[in-house]
Structure 1
Amino acid sequence: MKLNMSAMLLALSVLFACNNANNANKENATGQDSIPTPISLFNGKDINDWTPKIRLHEVGNNYANTFRVEDGLLKVRYDGYEDFDQQYGHLAYNTPYSYYLLRLEYRFVDEQTKGGEGWAWRNSGAMLHGQKPETMLKDQDFPISIEGQLLGGDGQTERTTSNLCTPGTNVIMDGKLFTPHCINSTSKTYHGDQWVTADFLVLGDSLIQHILDDQVVLSYSKPQIGGDNVLEYDSKQKEDGKALKEGYIYLQSESHPVDFRKVELFDLAAYKDDAAKLNKVIERIKKK
């Protein structure tokens, strides 16, 4: 009788442990299912899913192999340039998005190429809600877009990153239409060749946040076409006052070499009509 009771207690304890493990696995699976699988915009192998547009060159012409993949990194290089000559470059991902969180891992390396402007030293960017690359004219300098400006430090002076610039656009900030071209974030300075992870939360034409180290360093709303700071564009593409609800994501080339080792996107479109669920998903992604 004692032996049977002991065996029964052992069996119950094993069953209880198994049930707990199964429940935990279900909870973990549910938690994982509540986070959209990140889309790797950069696959580590090629840029076949991207379209280059470099000023003074036609759409699709990756002049001087400016954008390239080497050692598993998406690199921006200028060894084929005699002079930069304001040949601002942009690499557009071929699928437009509306609601998403974009995550970049980038670093600045080496020296600025000959002919680059002083302000473009350790300067790149992620263009959000950009116009379709095929609509850019040959001599157009920047896509009409919202720019998450990426800057590197010189080892001494402070220089924020994840700033905002607005080529052909405006936003609402602190309840007012913001029309200056650029504004600094509240970020710290990232010096040297260190890798930096930058998140950009984009919610259609409502809210955009720039996030570094889990901290919102810049926030604004209602992105829209308007203002100046873009040249040689097709006037049909610049409908001032039009809300920017979606668009193309670009990586920028402004004369300083830069590497990207991660460009991934969490598509949030499925949650846009459920604010509570959207907020929960965003918080989970930030912790990922």
Structure 2
Amino acid sequence: MSLNKAFLLILWCLGFSVTAQKPAISLFNGKDFTGWHIDVPKLDENPNGKNPFIVREGKLVSLADPQGHIITDKVYENFELEVQYRFAGKPGNCGVLVFCSTPRILYKMFPKSIECQLMHTNAGDFWCIGEDVVTPNMESRRGKKEDWGVTEGKERRVKNLTDNSEKPVGEWNTMKVRCDGNKITVWVNGDLVNEGFATASKGQIALQAEGSEVEFRKVELREL
């Protein structure tokens, strides 16, 4: 008997539950957008217009303009999401959205959700979009309490906990987002950058086209 099997047998005999970790699944197949749909307001006016999401050399690429989102068809809860991304040229803005539901509730573009920011030098910020989030030390990271809100004109940003977690522009970053019930925990390149409790616990997942070209070479999900 191998040492691993013997160890598991000992745990079983002692009454410990041995549960295998669920395998991760790739949400992006490297070829097309099977399992996703694109929501870009400008394409309503011209369905044949420029699509800001393309597949290039096996990567999912957000071209930033026109602005919008690529959204999973499926709803997810209790999961860990890992994305590997980099700014292909000039750094700027982008984001990963979790717990997405009602489309276009903010500025007639953003779906109801919690955004985990990818914006260069601000990766890991929370942005509240119709949903809210509560974090420790929130007044020091969100501003005056009377200004808080989840709609236009309100203080929707909760700043992340660290500086210098991102790699230099052009290098690949890894963001991990763990959604356990309504608790969201975010790491950037292994650093814990944000944690809080949201007003939602399930929804679709989205990537943004907003501000700057971003390449994604990994979009992987593991159910908890």
Q: Which residue of 2 aligns with 1:70?
A: 56
Identical residues among aligned pairs (%): 26
Once the two structures are superposed, residues 209-232 of structure 1 have per-residue CA deviations (whole angstroms, 9 ceiling, x without a partner) of 1112333211111x22xxxxxxxx
Q: CA deviation at 1:107?
A: 0.3
> Which of 87, 93, 96 matches 2:75?
96
Q: Which residue of 1 aligns with 2:180?
A: 203
Separation (CA, whole Å) in 1 of partners of 2:201 and 2:4:
42
Q: CA deviation at 1:194?
A: 0.7
Separation (CA, whole Å) in 2 of partners of 1:202 and 1:260:
20
Separation (CA, whole Å) in 2 of partners of 1:186 and 1:174:
10
Q: CA deviation at 1:249?
A: 0.2
Q: Which residue of 2 aligns with 1:23?
A: 5
Q: Which residue of 2 aligns with 1:267?
A: 223
Structure 1 contact 160–186 (Cα < 8 Å) conserved: no
Alignment of 1:41-190 (within 5 A): 41-58=27-44, 63-77=49-63, 84=65, 87-111=66-90, 122-131=92-101, 135-136=103-104, 140-152=108-120, 159-174=121-136, 179=149, 180-187=155-162, 188=164, 189-190=166-167
The gaps in structure 2 that reach 5 residues or longer are 13-17, 139-144, 150-154
Q: Report the residue type matching 1:258 in the other structure.
A: V
With the length of structure 2 as denominator, give the TM-score of the two structures: 0.78
Distance change in 2, residues 1:257/1:62 (3 Å): farther
1:254 paired to 2:210: yes
Structure 1 contact 100–266 (Cα < 8 Å) conserved: yes
Q: Which residue of 2 aligns with 1:212?
A: 188
With the length of structure 1 as denominator, give the TM-score of the two structures: 0.62
Q: CA deviation at 1:26?
A: 6.6
Q: CA deviation at 1:183?
A: 2.2
Separation (CA, whole Å) in 1 of partners of 2:48 and 2:23:
30
Q: CA deviation at 1:55?
A: 2.4
RMSD over equivalenced CA pairs, Å: 2.9
2:2 aligns to what SS in structure 1? helix
Separation (CA, whole Å) in 2 of partners of 1:49 and 1:185:
30
Distance change in 2, residues 1:122/1:95 (3 Å): same
Distance change in 2, residues 1:21/1:203 (3 Å): closer
Separation (CA, whole Å) in 2 of partners of 1:147 and 1:203:
16
* Larger helix proportion of the pair: 1
Once the two structures are superposed, residues 89-113 of structure 1 have per-residue CA deviations (whole angstroms, 9 ceiling, x without a partner) of 10001111111110000000124xx
Separation (CA, whole Å) in 2 of partners of 1:258 and 1:200:
18
Structure 2 contact 134–196 (Cα < 8 Å) conserved: yes
Give 1 or 2 for the bigger CA radius of gyration: 1
Distance change in 2, residues 1:21/1:252 (3 Å): same
Structure 1 contact 171–220 (Cα < 8 Å) conserved: yes
Structure 1 contact 51–94 (Cα < 8 Å) conserved: yes
Higher relative contact order (CA 8 A, sep 6+): 2
Q: CA deviation at 1:75?
A: 0.8
Q: Report the residue type matching 1:34 in the other structure.
A: A
Structure 2 contact 179–201 (Cα < 8 Å) conserved: no
